[in-house]
C-alpha cells in the first residue's frame, strides 16, 4: 500500500503554492530517475490541501476570451491571474474553496491517466454523499456535477503528468464567493443551462473546512488504496 504524506498549507498565495508544488514535483521526478534501477525505491508521494486568495488560472488549452474581465480591473478587485500548464480552461480559486494537489508517482498506483481523473472525481462524489448530496460525472465534461437539474458544477479538475508524476488536482466549492465566477466562463463551459454551485448553496449552510478536509482524506485513502501520513 503506497504511503502518501499529507500537508495542510492553509490559506496560501497561489504563486507560493505553485512554486512549492513544482519543487516537490521536480524532486519526485529527480528521485525517480536517480533510483530507476533500484527495486526497493519507494516514492515520496505528497497530498497538499489548501485554500487560495482570489485568483484566476488559465490552463494551456484554455481560451483567453473566456476571461470576461480585463486584467487591470481584476487587479483593482484584488483578484490575481496566472497562465499555467495544467489541462483544462479557465478556473477560479478563492477562500472557501478546498484545493487538493496530489503529487503522486502513478507508476506506484497504475499507469492510466483516465483512471486517475475518474478516481479524483470518485473521491469527491463520495465526500459529497456524506452530506446527503448526489453528484455525478457528465460525459464530455471533466469534474463533478450535481445529479439533478439544472446542471450545476461543484468541483473542477485539471491535471498534468510528467514521467507519470502528477501535478495540479481538484478544486471543490465548499463556501466560496460564487459571484467571483462571473469574471470568467468557468472551465470554458458557455452552455447557458450549466451553472457553478457550492456545498453551501446546495445545503443552505456553510460546511466547516476541517470537517470537509477530513472527509476528502478518508475517501482519498479508500479510492487510491493508500496509507495517509500527516506531516507534523
Report the C-alpha gap between 151 and 75 in whole angstroms: 31
Hey, what domains does the chain have and what are their CATH numbers?
3-230 (3.30.930.10)
Kindly report the pTM of this predicted structure. 0.89
More confident residue, 40 or 116: 116
The whole-number pLDDT of residue 73 equals 57
pLDDT of residue 191: 61
**Residue 161, phi then psi, degrees to nearest 5:** -125, 140
What are the DSSP calls for the chain, one per residue? --EEEEEEEEE--HHHHHHHHHHHHHHHHHHHHHTTT-TT----EEEEEEE-SSEEEE-TT--GGGB-S-HHHHHHTT-EEEE-SSSSSEEEE-TTEEEEEEE-BGGGT-S-HHHHHHHHHHHHHHHHHTTT--EEEETTEEEEEESSSSEEEEEEEEEEEETTEEEEEEEEESS--GGGGGGB-GGG---TTEEE--HHHHHTS---HHHHHHHHHHHHHHHHT-EEEE--
Residue-averaged pLDDT of the chain: 88
Compute the average pLDDT of residues 153-159. Answer: 92
Q: How confident is the model at residue 220 (pLDDT cuts 50, 70, 90)?
A: very high
Confidence grade of residue 23 (pLDDT, cut at 50, 70, 90):
very high
User: What is the reported pLDDT for 76?
Assistant: 46
Q: State yes or no: pLDDT of 166 exceeds 60.
A: yes
Of 10-14, 64-68, 154-158, 192-196, which gets the smallest average pLDDT? 64-68
- Residues serving a catalytic function are 187
Q: What is the DSSP string of 36-78?
A: TT-TT----EEEEEEE-SSEEEE-TT--GGGB-S-HHHHHHTT
Question: What pLDDT is recorded for position 180?
Answer: 78
Amino acid at each position: 500500500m503506497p504511503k502518501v504524506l499529507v500537508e495542510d498549507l492553509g490559506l496560501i498565495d497561489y504563486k507560493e503554492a505553485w512554486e512549492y508544488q513544482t519543487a516537490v514535483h521536480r524532486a519526485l521526478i529527480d528521485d525517480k530517475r536517480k533510483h530507476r534501477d533500484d527495486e526497493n525505491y519507494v516514492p515520496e508521494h505528497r497530498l497538499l490541501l489548501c485554500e487560495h486568495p482570489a485568483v484566476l488560472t488559465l490552463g494551456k488549452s484554455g481560451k483567453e476570451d473566456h476571461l470576461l474581465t480585463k486584467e487591470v480591473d481584476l487587479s483593482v478587485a484584488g483578484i490575481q491571474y496566472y497562465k499555467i500548464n495544467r489541462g483544462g480552461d479557465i478556473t477560479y480559486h478563492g477562500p472557501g474553496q478546498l484545493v487538493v494537489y496530489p503529487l503522486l508517482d502513478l507508476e506506484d498506483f497504475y499507469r492510466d491517466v483516465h483512471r486517475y481523473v475518474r478516481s479524483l472525481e470518485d473521491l469527491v462524489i463520495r465526500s459529497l454523499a456524506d452530506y446527503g448530496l448526489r453528484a455525478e460525472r457528465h460525459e464530455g465534461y471533466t469534474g463533478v456535477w450535481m445529479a439533478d437539474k439544472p446542471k450545476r458544477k461543484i468541483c473542477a479538475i485539471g491535471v498534468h503528468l510528467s514521467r507519470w508524476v502528477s501535478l495540479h488536482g481538484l478544486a471543490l466549492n465548499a463556501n466560496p464567493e460564487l459571484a467571483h465566477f462571473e469574471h470568467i466562463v468557468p472551465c470554458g463551459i458557455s452552455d447557458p443551462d450549466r451553472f457553478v454551485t457550492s456545498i453551501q448553496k446546495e445545503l443552505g449552510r456553510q460546511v466547516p473546512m476541517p470537517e470537509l478536509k477530513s472527509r476528502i482524506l478518508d475517501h482519498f485513502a479508500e479510492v487510491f488504496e493508500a496509507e495517509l501520513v500527516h506531516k507534523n
